[in-house]
């Protein structure tokens, strides 16, 4: 992978993988509701800049996750992944059994996406590589339509207002 760091916050680092043309999200440490909320805001800001059809989401470095983050993600983040342009999501589960249960519970909230769960990074990368979108002409990456961009901006601003201390 050829990673370019886009954003970072406690609990998350978001990269663009230039070689594979996908977003790589690496979660780490203790994932509390507040940590996940602020990390999700940074992620939303990334997809405002451009759409990413494929996402590699890794929870391998996550050490714990609070139960209250799952309902928040289900209501405030997951419904908008498709709008953001995400088609394929490879999700590498955490090693802890509790974390795996939470990921499995969230999977049912991802209609319209091709999602696959993995226990290791290599399998996830292989699966996501097979789902490369059709080649496009060289040039700048495609942008969201003005309507979609406005919707995503409104959602992101709303999230930021709700998360102010």
> pLDDT tens for residues 100-156?
556 556 665 556 678 888 989 999 999 999 988 766 544 445 788 899 999 999 999
Sorted by where each starts, the structural domains of the chain and their CATH numbers stand as: 3-163 (3.40.50.10600)
Residue pLDDT, tens place only, 64-88: 888 888 888 888 888 888 889 899 9
Q: Classify 119 as helix, strand or coil.
A: coil
CA distance linking residue 123 with residue 112, whole number of Å: 22
Q: Which of helix, strand or coil describes residue 62?
A: strand
Give the Cα separation of 113 and 63 in Å (integer).
Answer: 27
SS3 8: strand
Residue 115, φ and ψ in degrees, nearest 5: -125, 135
Q: How far apart are CA 109 and CA 22, in angstroms?
A: 22
pTM listed for this prediction: 0.86
Kindly state the tokens that stand for 23: 């977003």
CA distance 130 to 108: 23
């Amino acid at each position: 992978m050829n990673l370019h760091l886009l954003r970072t916050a406690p609990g998350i680092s978001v990269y663009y993988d230039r070689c594979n043309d996908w977003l790589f999200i690496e979660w780490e440490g203790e994932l509390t509701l507040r940590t996940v909320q602020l990390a999700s805001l940074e992620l939303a800001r990334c997809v405002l800049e451009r759409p990413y059809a494929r996402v590699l989401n890794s929870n391998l470095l996550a050490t714990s996750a609070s139960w209250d983050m799952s309902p928040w993600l289900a209501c405030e983040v997951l419904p908008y992944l498709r709008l953001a342009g995400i088609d394929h999501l490879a999700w590498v589960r955490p090693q802890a059994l509790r974390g795996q249960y939470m990921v499995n519970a969230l999977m049912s909230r991802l209609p319209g996406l091709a999602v696959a769960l993995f226990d290791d990074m290599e399998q996830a990368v292989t699966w996501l590589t097979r789902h490369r979108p059709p080649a496009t002409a060289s040039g700048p990456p495609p942008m969201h339509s003005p309507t979609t961009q406005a919707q995503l901006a409104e959602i992101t601003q709303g999230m930021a207002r709700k998360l102010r201390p």
